[in-house]
Structure 1
Amino acid sequence: MKAEKWWPIALNMVSRSIVDVYLKKPEFNRDPLFLQFRNPIPLKRPLLTAEPSIVTRKLRPQDLFLIFASDGLWEHLNDKAAVDIVYKYPRDGIAKRLVATALHEAAKKREVRYKDIRKIEKGVRRHFHDDITVIVIYLDHDHHKRSKQKQNSVGSISAPVDIFSYNSDEVEENPLDKIFPNEESRHILVVS
């Protein structure tokens, strides 16, 4: 096999995955697996792993929030744009706002309007954007210092959290339509 055949896989952003076991172990890359899920080239080494990449960092008082997101978000928003949005807008629904902004950016990259992406049938829409899951956790250092550090049953501090997930095959109203009825004015959400 020529190396060019492996080129798209080498650029695959998913290097860690809970699913896709057929890309991790050769014994799962054979019948009775559906052909659409099989890798036609025999594996000599795993292409994916389920082992997480872990980075630790001591939180500082100036750390305000954490953004956990799938690569579907990061394909369309850079770190600064995501941080600017979370910092600038109200907490309620902030994860959904990040997803909506990423979807709007995906539409712009493909030179279509967001409302037109919503009309594309399931399965085909994946060519426009990946699934996107976002979790925003606010750290609230000052709030917890002022209160008696409310703890839940496992002893961790309860922090405000906003979670939103969007499957590329779902159809949903664009939440930005309510905020910016004029689609051209939405670009102000992303600060680069």
Structure 2
Amino acid sequence: MISFFRNPSFSFSIVLFTVLITASACNRSSDQREFERAAFSIPEGITQTDATGNVISRDSDDWRVAPFFQGVIEIDPAYPNPVLTNELVRINRIVTGVESVSGLRVFVFYESGNVRPIDNDVRNPLPPGLDVISLEPTLISEFPENPQGLYRVVITDLNENVITYGDIRIE
């Protein structure tokens, strides 16, 4: 009887499988790191939405889901965008995986390089289904007395892995 481990073609298959899995994991880590670098950059435009969340025009860089979270969470663009100072900004998120996302943190990244947390959901894991993140524009702005401007909002899990990011204009 021939042992599977002594069979050269079986051993080669195991080695090839291991190399492919490792390369895939490295590439995925690289993709995630690249995504996270892009998240902490200066805002450049918005996905324009109406008060009910309908997309009017899309910024291809906004509200994409990070490689680590694809297939386990969906994020809709912020709405309305642009937003007036007396309105709420809403972001729909749908957790589609079971026990797949460890909480949620919402930050604002300012052009000055400062980062400020503005919302936390410490449920670990987040329950599957739809939830709405509601944000006040004055919490997003760097200077509440003059809130108008373009701001980068970054959403992470509790381990600070970036899930998504997008730009919001306050008028």
Structure in which a larger fraction of residues adopt helix: 1
